[in-house]
Structure 1
Amino acid sequence: MLKHIGRTCRSLLALALALILALAPVSAVWARSGGRIGGGSFRSPTFSAPRSVGPRSAPVYPSYGGGLGFPLVVPLFWGGGGSLLALLLLIGAGSFLVRSLRSAVAEEEEVGDPQVTVAQVKVGLLASARQLQKEINALALEADTQSPEGLSQLLQEVSLGLMRYSDYWAYGYAEAEKLPLSRAESLFYQASLQERSKFSAETLTNRNNQIQQLPQAALRRAAAGIPEVGEYLVVTLLVAYRGNLGTLPVVKSVAELRQWLMQLASIPAERIVAIEVLWTPQLEGDTLSAEALLTEYPEMRLL
């Protein structure tokens, strides 16, 4: 009996939700339209094949009297302290070998799982910066997201575009973490999925030059009659790159956020591993309310 009631309640709840979505204004359904531009791979040849390392040769030491090629053959029986001298030399040789082995292991680990930095920058802009939204939309249709040079240009264009609209910045956040390649890949895609989960739909994407866009009829229907007053635009940059950029400040002001963007934009193409640019709303008539921004992006600080 209880199971039957539970099934009935779930059915009624599902029906109610369907009616709400069907009868709700288009703006409410599409309040989370989002766009995504990105490319790169953590499995590129740079990382999948360790660099060529020649055969290791043991260090050569001068030989004394045709014996072993090592200073241990220094006469060990000078006076009565020969045994002590031999012991000290053996300890020194053992320490040298241990250090050499540790250095070799560290080098092999660096070749097999190099260090990669994953940086996240989020900027919340006033809706008055709608022109930036149009520029990013256009960039999504034109950007080359398959080559390192194209990704570098994408990073520069988005960073410079954001800086040109710094007068409209309201909120900001940035962080970077340096990790081994395997962990960096996981962090990068987790961060991407977290941002994408905030969208009701990805209405425009360009991933590795594969462009997908909703039909124009759906775009016009979603954009019809939605006010812009008091709303926001959020742009997120995810960048994975080899090495690091030195010490970067905690973002508390426009100047600090600008410093992050300038340093990311200066990353050489050969150091870039992967990039994603995510922005919401993507549809030109769609909106993001202040309440939604503070709920979905609690990490961002008021600038």
Structure 2
Amino acid sequence: QVAVFCEDRSPASVVGAVADLVDRADTGCQESMAGLVSDVALTLLRKEATWISAGLETASFRSDDAADAAFGQFSLKERAKIERETVNRVNGRDRSERHGGSPDGEWGPGGRGVSRGISRGATATSQSTVAVVTLILCLNGKKIAPVKDRDSLRAALLALGSDVLSTAECLMTAEVMWTPEARGDVLLPEDVTLDFPALIPL
């Protein structure tokens, strides 16, 4: 989870780049989701100058069922922090608001691919904003080192970007979230401190 500063919402910004990557990804395809996760990690690496804070939470499990349950809990915990989901694609099905879809996703056999663009209530005429990009992943046989500072975040993103592409079995399930998504919505530094207290200033 990485908080960044975006001067605008153009494709050159983190939120613009992530939204573009999600638009082109097939959440129903494991290979496409692996590519999406790797590309999001690469985008964050390229935008290191915009990093504000970051955090990493990991857990290990002996069974796929336990991992799936924990994945769902991680997802719900992050989704509970926001007001509405304006982009919601699950297993290749678009459930976004603009398509009249339900905000609740469905579990698919063998895992799922999810991308969520999250809108907040606050709006402003200025397009600059703080943004938070969240990756919730279920990895098979891979561990990511803790994030404590810029160097460890850089190492974690490099490892993640390469590991998910190394073998077809590495990435079991993935969810990509970013907030704010709707143009005009803003996330203030105090919002990040309140809603994401575990993030470490960089």
Superposition TM-score tier, normalisation by shorter sequence: 0.7 to 0.9
SS of the residue corresponding to residue 37 of structure 2 reads helix
Q: Which amino acid aligns with 1:279?
A: W
Match of 2:130 in 1: 232
Match of 1:173 in 2: 55
Deviations 1:28-87 (A, max 9, x none): xxxxxxxxxxxxxxxxxxxxxxxxxxxxxxxxxxxxxxxxxxxxxxxxxxxxxxxxxxxx
User: Is contact 1:151-1:269 (8 Å) kept?
Assistant: no
Q: In 2 relative to 1, CA 252–223 (structure 1 residues): closer, same or farther, beyond 3 Å? A: closer
Match of 1:283 in 2: 182
- Residue 199 of structure 1 pairs with residue 82 of structure 2: yes
User: Is contact 1:129-1:168 (8 Å) kept?
Assistant: no
Give how far 1:202 is off. 0.3
Match of 2:7 in 1: 128
Match of 2:172 in 1: 273
Deviations 1:96-121 (A, max 9, x none): xxxxxxxxxxxxxxxxxxxxxxxxxx
Match of 2:148 in 1: 252
Give how far 1:243 is off. 0.8
Cα distance in 1 for partners of 2:179, 2:190 equals 14
Give how far 1:271 is off. 1.8
Give how far 1:283 is off. 1.3
User: Is contact 1:228-1:287 (8 Å) kept?
Assistant: yes
User: Is contact 1:128-1:168 (8 Å) kept?
Assistant: no
- Residue 144 of structure 1 pairs with residue 23 of structure 2: no
Match of 1:302 in 2: 201
Deviations 1:171-217 (A, max 9, x none): 0001322112222111111111111111211001221111233349x
Match of 2:113 in 1: none
Q: In 2 relative to 1, CA 253–141 (structure 1 residues): closer, same or farther, beyond 3 Å? A: same
User: Is contact 1:148-1:270 (8 Å) kept?
Assistant: no
Q: TM-score, normalised by structure 1?
A: 0.53
SS of the residue corresponding to residue 136 of structure 2 reads strand
Q: TM-score, normalised by structure 2?
A: 0.78
Larger Rg over CA atoms = 1
Cα distance in 2 for partners of 1:225, 1:202 equals 19
Q: Which amino acid aligns with 1:176?
A: T
Q: Which amino acid aligns with 1:244?
A: K
Cα distance in 1 for partners of 2:32, 2:152 equals 27
Paired positions, count:
174
User: Is contact 2:122-2:185 (8 Å) kept?
Assistant: yes
Mapping of residues 1-303 of structure 1, within 5 Å: 122-128=1-7, 130=9, 131-180=13-62, 181-215=64-98, 225-228=124-127, 231-245=129-143, 248=145, 250-267=146-163, 268-303=167-202
Deviations 1:214-269 (A, max 9, x none): 349xxxxx89753345x410000111011123x61x32211111111111112233
SS of the residue corresponding to residue 244 of structure 1 reads coil
Cα distance in 2 for partners of 1:140, 1:244 equals 24
User: Is contact 1:242-1:272 (8 Å) kept?
Assistant: yes
User: Is contact 2:123-2:184 (8 Å) kept?
Assistant: yes
Deviations 1:258-299 (A, max 9, x none): 111111112233221100011100113210111111011000
| RMSD of Structure 2 on Structure 1 (CA) | 2.1
